[in-house]
Structure formats: C-alpha cells, structure tokens
Copies of this chain bind each other. A is one copy, B any other.
Amino acid sequence: MERDGAGLAALATLLADPTRATMCLALMDGRAWTATELARHAGVAPSTATQHLNLLVGGGLLAEVRQGRHRYVRLAGTPAADLVERLAAAAGDAGRPGAEPAAPSSLTTAHRRRALAAARTCYDHLAGTLGVAVTDAMTARGLLSWDRGLVLTDEGDRWMSALAGGWPPESRRPLVRSCLDWTERRPHLGGAAGAALCAHAVDAGWLVRVRRSRALRLTDAGRTALRERLGLELPPAG
C-alpha cells in the first residue's frame, strides 16, 4: 500500500465532519435510513444531506438502495460498521484513548446509555453486557476457544446447528470473530456465528428491538432460553 497518508486521510475525512459522523452513528443501528430522515436527525437541509451521502457512498462507507422516490442508505458492511464503532469508542474516551468515559449529560441519555450498555446490536451481532455474558458463557461451555485466536470448537459447531437452521452459512465471512465492546472493554462474539445467534434470538422472541435505537430488551422467554442452553443466569429486567 502507499506510504503517503493520502488514502488514510481520504477515509478519515469521511468521518471528520460532525454531520457525516452523526449520520454514521445513527446508521449503527444496522437499519437503512432515508435521506430525509438522516437530514432531520443531523439537523441539516435535505440538499446538504444529499451531498454528504454522496461522499459517504462514494467513499464506500455506505451502501444505498433506491426504491421509488426514496433513497435508502445503510452502512456498507461489517468492516465499515467496525470502523465507525471503533472510532466512536476511541472518541468517546473524552478524546483520550485510555481515559474514563464522560458522565452522561442528561437523564434521558443516561437511560439510553444504560439500555444500550445492557444489550444492543453491534451491526448484526450481540454486544453490551449481554453480548459479553453470552460470549463468556459459550467459552465456559467449551463452545468457543481462545487458545489460538478465537475459534468455534466442534461442540460449538454442533450447538450452533442445533440452535438455528442453515448452519453453517455459505458466506465466506469468518465464522467467529472477536469484536471489542466499547462499553465493556471486553471482546464479544462477532462474525457469522454472532450474526446467526443474534438473528435467531430476535426471531425466536428472546430479544426485541427497542424502537429508534439499537438497544435490545431481553424477554422472559429469552432469559429462560439462555439459562437452558448456556447455563447463563441473568437478572430480571431493570
């Protein structure tokens, strides 16, 4: 790759604008937003939003789908989402990688924060304390091994098969991947297995999405299922 920083700078420039950064963070919920939704969310005129979205799509950070008169836009993929999340995590440390997180500025944000910290999606897999707890439980049960990088054990493979149909997936995506959690500062399960697990949890009603957020709420059924399948004891909803 090139030794000059032009490419790096070009990529960073995409996120170096508050409006674009706000848009990308909003898209971290994994859904597709329309251009006007993003414009209102970021507090700019629609024409301005168009320009920003052109840049982000052109830069490969976002993918778009035109449907009728709507322009739907979403994060381009897991790497893009990882990038945004990682940068946001580093930026969240009061601008100091290594400092403690800033106190929530308001009650609503505190509530939001707590909900997000408890359980949320990280693009397409589980994150937050729940994501870490599930990952830990899977490790304790021998479904995951961290000996030489993160791998799914044979037992873990059987466990996934029993959990969800269509396992293993055909995609060339790595089965498992370690993803650093920005609230827990600990790794949780990403990759195809993480995505499949999350998808099943939502399909089966273990988790329900909280509107306009990437927070998740654990249902009673989910609590029971996780206890039965992983021996994971979770406190009732707070």
Q: What distance in Å separates the Cβ of A9 from its nearest Cβ neighbour in chain B?
A: 4
In the bound complex, residues from chain B placing their C-beta under 8 Å from that of A204 are: none
Residues of A in contact, count (CB < 8 Å) = 56
Q: Using CB atoms, name the residue of chain B closest to A90.
A: B83
**In the bound complex, do residue B87 and residue A1 qualify as a contact, i.e. CB atoms below 8 Å apart?**
no
**In the bound complex, do residue B1 and residue A92 qualify as a contact, i.e. CB atoms below 8 Å apart?**
yes
Cα(A7)–Cα(B25), bound, Å: 11
Q: Using CB atoms, name the residue of chain B closest to A17.
A: B9
Q: Report how many copies the assembly holds.
A: 2
Whether a CB of chain B sits under 8 angstroms from the CB of A231 is no
**In the bound complex, do residue B3 and residue A21 qualify as a contact, i.e. CB atoms below 8 Å apart?**
no
Whether a CB of chain B sits under 8 angstroms from the CB of A12 is yes
Whether a CB of chain B sits under 8 angstroms from the CB of A105 is yes
In the bound complex, residues from chain B placing their C-beta under 8 Å from that of A99 are: 60, 77, 79
